[in-house]
Structure 1
Amino acid sequence: MGNSSKLSLVLIGLILGASLVACDDGRAGAQDAVKQLASAVSALDVGAVAFEGKDSGAANDQLKEVFKALAPAKPSVQAGELKLDSGTATVPLDYSWNIGTEQWKYTVSAQLKKSGDKWLTVWNPAVLVPGLADGEVLSSSNETPQRAAILGAGDVPLVTYRPVVNVGIDKPQLGGADAADSATKLARLVGVDPAAYATQVAAAGPEAFVAAITLREDGTRTITDGQISAIPGGRAIKDMLPLAPTRTFARALLGAAAEVSAEQIEKSGGVLKAGDTTGTGGLQQQYDAQLRGTDGIVVRAQKAGLTAEEIKAASPDPRRVLFRVEIKAGTPLKTTLDPKLQQLAEDVLGKVGPASAIVALRPSSGAVLAAASGPGSNGYDTAMLGQYAPGSIFKMVDSLAMFRNGMTPDSTVDCPATLTVDGRTFKNAEGYPASSLGSVTLRDAFAHSCNTAFINARDKVSQAQLESAATSLGVAVEAPSLGAAAFLGSVPGAAEGTEHAASMIGQGKVLLSPLSAAVMAGSVAKGAPVSAQLVLNPNAGTTPGTPSAAPTTAASTTAGSTPPGDAPASSAPAPAKTAGTPVTAAEAASLADMMRAVVTSGHAGFLASVPGAPVGAKTGTAEFGKDNPPKTHAWIVAVHGDLAVAVFVEEGGLGATVSGPLLKEFLTAAG
């Protein structure tokens, strides 16, 4: 190649290079600076951003002060299309904040100037919020809606706002008295731990009111205002709280609502804040979002340091509204609970020492009318969540399986005094009548609850047939309309030898809750499987993304409660989706015939005097534990017109003599 050719190539290269330099107008550098700015504002930290007219540290301090009221929220900031004009650039910044349940979106314009080989952001508070001036910050105020009510049958309020007094020590009113002495006296008066309360009062600030207890203002309060005010610093402050009719009314089922704790705030992921009321346990916790509603929130721009007094005195309001989230009241939770029957069930169980339960439902609709857990349950929802061997009430399932193998209530069965299976001896309950031993009708064996007769049928009734018959009666089947955490029963589909024999008398691995026992009885009254229903509007008014109703599972637990005694908290196998072979009207009529015989000729004769429709029943006594003689669960289920009831006592002796009288009292008063 000649020199002239080389020279031409050099010239071409110089020309191209010059044109490339001319095309580099600084856009790439400006875009990098904008990208850094958007990222820094998103993180609420612009300490590393280079500004014109403002020290980076001072700009960062101002940004944090401007947005302090929105903490812990941070914006998402995206840069739009950059416009370049010589040594300046403008770019839109699109902000998006999550404020409560809504998004606050706005766009501002940022300006950059080139200084040497660097692009600097021109500082202006309006780059943070449209129209924001120096010396202005944002403020945020919340308006919290009242918690919605929980309603019973006919929309009667069960949980609603009721008057209370918060009793405590108001430290500014101590008047020189010893705080520890006053705290100790008040604690003893109201029945709380004196040492713990005195420590709490000592730790509080000098202007604090330290609550010791909240008392209902419903005529049952025995501690008077005079007794409280007689203690230096003692004070009773009137308030309203969402409460059930009484302290114990359906407590395990409904749960409670109270001011949110620090732990609940932390676990809520920003949903809850100090001063909110939230649910703990039961329906209050499960449907918290529906009942709580959503706060109204107003974001304003205002002069830094503006006081509440200045705002009140000014006209017009010196603040300007930037964004508003409208307050949304919670939606009342509608349930099928009958307040009179629920209270009656609790009154009946009030004198029972061990864990206990009464569940009443309407077979025609599946509506749960009462689900009471007695005082011995210690706050656990025995009625809905208890998992217990059902004993002889499970003979209803055996009998259905036997009908399906060709038997009738008049078929003959063998009822020996004892029966040995694989080395284990089974016997009938204490006091079993000798006249009903030997060759008897299935009706008679059912009426007197002959264990050996039903175990004798084990070779003709497989474990799989038992499982199928149980689901036919609504046991261990999902209840999609229940709307509450519950144990729906568990019947294994496979068992052999003594375990299968034990299943025939409702022991082994067969487990029912009082709810599922009531469903079983109700399916007989209905002539079809009952699907229990408790909550009527489980999805109303819930916040998007917030689960409203926990799925009903085979076994689940209620927050803050522990199953007493023999009730396991572990999960049983999941219930079936639907009953495999629904009980027929004819099968149910045969079962109803035998349940009536329990009252007319069996050991539940005490129910014959219950007024109204004839009562059909089945008793059950289930052994548990390793004591000798073993402890027993006492069961009885009954149908009475369009009412099905299950009564359970955890350590109860015989079903007929322990749970039976409780059932009679309930049915007689229920009318």
Structure 2
Amino acid sequence: MLPPRRARLVASTTGLVVALAVLTACSDNGPDAGDAADDLAAALTSGNVAKVATTGSGPDHQTELDRIVEGLGTSTQKVTVKDVAEKDGAATVTLSTRRSINGATWSYETKASLVEGNDRWEVDWKPSLVAPVTKGERLVARTVAAERGDILGAEDEPLVTARPVVRVGIDKTRVDAKKAGTSAVALAKLLDIDTGTFRKRVEAAGPQAFVEGLVLRKGAGLPSGQDLEAIPGAVGIDAELPLAPTRAFGQPLLGTVGEATAETIKESKGALKAGDQVGLSGLQKRYDTRLRGTPGIEVTAITDEEGAEARELFAREPQAGKAVRTTLDPKLQAAADDILGDVDPASAIVAIRPSTGELLAVASGPGSDGNDTATSGRYAPGSTFKIVTALTFLRSGVTPETKVRCSPTVTVDGRTFKNYSDYPSSALGNVSLTTAIANSCNTAMIATRKKAPQARLADAAYALGLGRDVDLGVPAFLGSVPTTAKGTERAASMIGQGRIEASPLVMAVVAASVQDRRLVTPVLLPDLEPKDAPTPANPLNAQEAISLADMMRAVVTDGSGRFLLDVPGSPVGAKTGTAEYGDDVPPRTHAWMIGTHGNLAVAVFVGDGASGSATAGPLLEEFLRAAR
């Protein structure tokens, strides 16, 4: 017997073609069994054993190898020779295999018998030299999904967690193949999905397939058992999916989970395969790797004999995903979603706790068509921006009592600006800045623009949080104010139009900063380590904030927000906003309203409305009352 030989590693190389005419390695003393064993290991590593010389005239060993490993999918392997024991023209080779399957490593040893003859070594080919299988068995790898992590709200209350659903579809084992298409059409009509697409999917699927048509929450418009029984092959299968309490809750911020698309599978570089559940949008997509965890792998040896049981050869247990914590308050989020449920245009409600910056509700209405209007919308903020304008005035020596000129119209470079159509005549003329803000006088802001140079306007906006770069852990737009503007654009800037843009999120931040007497930084994911946003060169001070809060209170006591005066609890502060957009004549308008109420700051936006007070105002009032 030869002494144990040093193991020889054979690395797998893409596209490697091992062309072994025979397992032979000639030396001065004749064929060497050790070198022949290395050649066998190289052939097994590459998956190309067609040229390996074998004893006898058994089955084609390349076909046999392919049959054994086909069920492993895109696995790769590295094979080394651990030991060669030679005696009397025969050799026993111990092979060590490390096989990678979907990120799991399965290591095992097998034995191969070599026989010397005709100046070469030949392999006594058996399935057991490929893997620990017996004749007729083949390998099958099955992915075991990991339990997906929850998305949590305030006090770690589950927002998105496994909830019961019913997968409704066609089970092709329960319907004659020739009638499967007809059943597909009938079920598609029942589910109100595209009939042609579903029929093609059903007809293209294999004879053992279940083809899903729709996943429905239990109790949410499920077809009756009688309706399903009337369609051959139609079934409902109980399952669980990560879902929010309702379909609208937190969408699109929280996002959705579904089967991996061709694009996500390609991007995953082998981590995903068809049928895997992944995050498709929102937080579910952004933090999919964390939430999804690590799937398990189970490798079994099976035969095609009826009634034969599979033998488990290898298993890696799945590792559950980790939760993603948010600051969302379930009650307030549900209230915001419900309030926006019947709003046709794009809309949003954002609520912040000023004392901490925690986002309590981030809702985008159904009219947003799946877009996250609340955090990423880019709109002219209209007169809600007058809080910024007022801060700029204060910093130029204007006081809340200083008289400003509120005229019916004001003309700048040939363009005439005016107040809204039912502006109260009692608030015209020389009025205090507080009165001008309370009644939202456009002309007073524009007429006093020399007290608010454009660069200072941008500086004041930044002091209130508008224009900062804050990492929320999700895509977010916190506004933009140009530092230079001239002519009519400069005039429009004074009333939150021109090139000024804001999101509902940042207008809630502005209100929160006034309420807490300091610059508030919004927080959505408490575990996130945010990058530091540059601090304002001229930060908001307490006296400025108090003056702004008094003006916002005047909006409710004496101005365009009087309908909020009887909201119970802490005094309410507010500011309405209406911003023109588009080319229609008369122009269409965005409707805004921001409000403060104790330790709560809120921004409401409707993409197309009559005015801030008429369209956004009632939504704000409903939310403030629901928040009690």
Place the TM-score, normalised by the shorter chain, in its bin.
0.7 to 0.9
Q: Quick one: which of 438, 441, 446 aligns to 2:437?
A: 446
How far apart are 1:667 and its partner, in Å? 0.7
Q: Quick one: which of 476, 480, 488 aligns to 1:486?
A: 476
Superimposed CA distance per residue, residues 245-295 of structure 1 (whole angstroms, 9 cap, x where no aligned partner): 122222211111123344543443221123321111111111111221111
Taking the aligned partners of 1:31 and 1:469, their CA distance within structure 2 comes to 80
Check if 1:226 corresponds to 2:226.
yes
User: Which shows bigger deviation, 186-195 or 129-138?
Assistant: 129-138
Residue of structure 1 equivalent to 2:144: 143
Three-state SS of the structure 1 residue aligned to 2:70 is helix
Amino acid at match of 1:381: D
Residue of structure 1 equivalent to 2:409: 418
Residue of structure 1 equivalent to 2:8: none
TM-score (norm 2): 0.83
How far apart are 1:98 and its partner, in Å? 4.2
Residue of structure 2 equivalent to 1:379: 370
Taking the aligned partners of 2:102 and 2:183, their CA distance within structure 1 comes to 42
Taking the aligned partners of 1:340 and 1:308, their CA distance within structure 2 comes to 55
Query: Cα distance 1:406–1:103, how it changes in 2: closer, same or farther (>3 A)?
Result: farther
**Identical positions, percent:** 48
Unpaired segments ≥5 residues, structure 2: 1-26
Check if 1:622 corresponds to 2:622.
no
Taking the aligned partners of 1:407 and 1:79, their CA distance within structure 2 comes to 87
Indicate conservation of the 8 Å contact 2:438/2:558, yes or no. Answer: yes
Taking the aligned partners of 1:512 and 1:627, their CA distance within structure 2 comes to 22
Taking the aligned partners of 1:632 and 1:639, their CA distance within structure 2 comes to 24
Taking the aligned partners of 2:138 and 2:185, their CA distance within structure 1 comes to 46
Check if 1:497 corresponds to 2:487.
yes
Query: Cα distance 1:415–1:43, how it changes in 2: closer, same or farther (>3 A)?
Result: farther
Indicate conservation of the 8 Å contact 1:177/1:232, yes or no. Answer: no
Superimposed CA distance per residue, residues 606-637 of structure 1 (whole angstroms, 9 cap, x where no aligned partner): 11111000011111111100111110000000
Query: Cα distance 1:38–1:620, how it changes in 2: closer, same or farther (>3 A)?
Result: farther
Residue of structure 2 equivalent to 1:269: 269
Superimposed CA distance per residue, residues 99-128 of structure 1 (whole angstroms, 9 cap, x where no aligned partner): 444555679999999999x99797877997
Unpaired segments ≥5 residues, structure 1: 1-23, 313-317, 540-550, 553-574
User: Which shows bigger deviation, 169-178 or 436-445?
Assistant: 169-178
Query: Cα distance 1:180–1:119, how it changes in 2: closer, same or farther (>3 A)?
Result: closer
Query: Cα distance 1:364–1:89, how it changes in 2: closer, same or farther (>3 A)?
Result: farther
Taking the aligned partners of 1:502 and 1:339, their CA distance within structure 2 comes to 39
Indicate conservation of the 8 Å contact 1:479/1:533, yes or no. Answer: no
How far apart are 1:355 and its partner, in Å? 1.0
- Aligned 1:458-607 pairs, distance under 5 A: 458-480=449-471, 482-537=472-527, 577-607=534-564
Residue of structure 1 equivalent to 2:20: none
Indicate conservation of the 8 Å contact 1:341/1:369, yes or no. Answer: yes
Residue of structure 1 equivalent to 2:5: none
Superimposed CA distance per residue, residues 487-545 of structure 1 (whole angstroms, 9 cap, x where no aligned partner): 22222233233222222211122111111111111111122222212223459xxxxxx
Superimposed CA distance per residue, residues 136-194 of structure 1 (whole angstroms, 9 cap, x where no aligned partner): 75443332123222222222222222222223344444479954554444333332234
Query: Cα distance 1:39–1:470, how it changes in 2: closer, same or farther (>3 A)?
Result: farther
How far apart are 1:367 and its partner, in Å? 1.3
Check if 1:656 corresponds to 2:613.
yes
Residue of structure 2 equivalent to 1:291: 291
Amino acid at match of 1:641: G
- Aligned 1:96-107 pairs, distance under 5 A: 97-103=99-105
Amino acid at match of 2:290: Q
Residue of structure 2 equivalent to 1:191: 192
Indicate conservation of the 8 Å contact 1:100/1:325, yes or no. Answer: no
Amino acid at match of 1:520: V
Indicate conservation of the 8 Å contact 1:615/1:640, yes or no. Answer: yes
Taking the aligned partners of 2:206 and 2:344, their CA distance within structure 1 comes to 44
User: Which shows bigger deviation, 592-601 or 339-348?
Assistant: 339-348
Residue of structure 1 equivalent to 2:308: 310
Taking the aligned partners of 1:449 and 1:487, their CA distance within structure 2 comes to 26
Indicate conservation of the 8 Å contact 1:101/1:294, yes or no. Answer: no
Indicate conservation of the 8 Å contact 1:260/1:275, yes or no. Answer: yes
Three-state SS of the structure 2 residue aligned to 1:212 is strand
Amino acid at match of 1:350: G
Residue of structure 1 equivalent to 2:237: 237
Taking the aligned partners of 2:490 and 2:362, their CA distance within structure 1 comes to 31
Residue of structure 2 equivalent to 1:11: none
Query: Cα distance 1:171–1:91, how it changes in 2: closer, same or farther (>3 A)?
Result: closer
Taking the aligned partners of 1:490 and 1:79, their CA distance within structure 2 comes to 66
Taking the aligned partners of 2:466 and 2:383, their CA distance within structure 1 comes to 15
Amino acid at match of 2:401: D
Q: How many residues align?
A: 600
Taking the aligned partners of 1:38 and 1:464, their CA distance within structure 2 comes to 73
User: Which shows bigger deviation, 437-446 or 514-523?
Assistant: 437-446
Amino acid at match of 1:288: D
Amino acid at match of 1:192: I
Indicate conservation of the 8 Å contact 1:34/1:79, yes or no. Answer: yes
Taking the aligned partners of 1:653 and 1:175, their CA distance within structure 2 comes to 58
Residue of structure 1 equivalent to 2:622: 665
TM-score (norm 1): 0.78
Residue of structure 2 equivalent to 1:74: 76
Three-state SS of the structure 2 residue aligned to 1:444 is helix
Residue of structure 1 equivalent to 2:47: 44
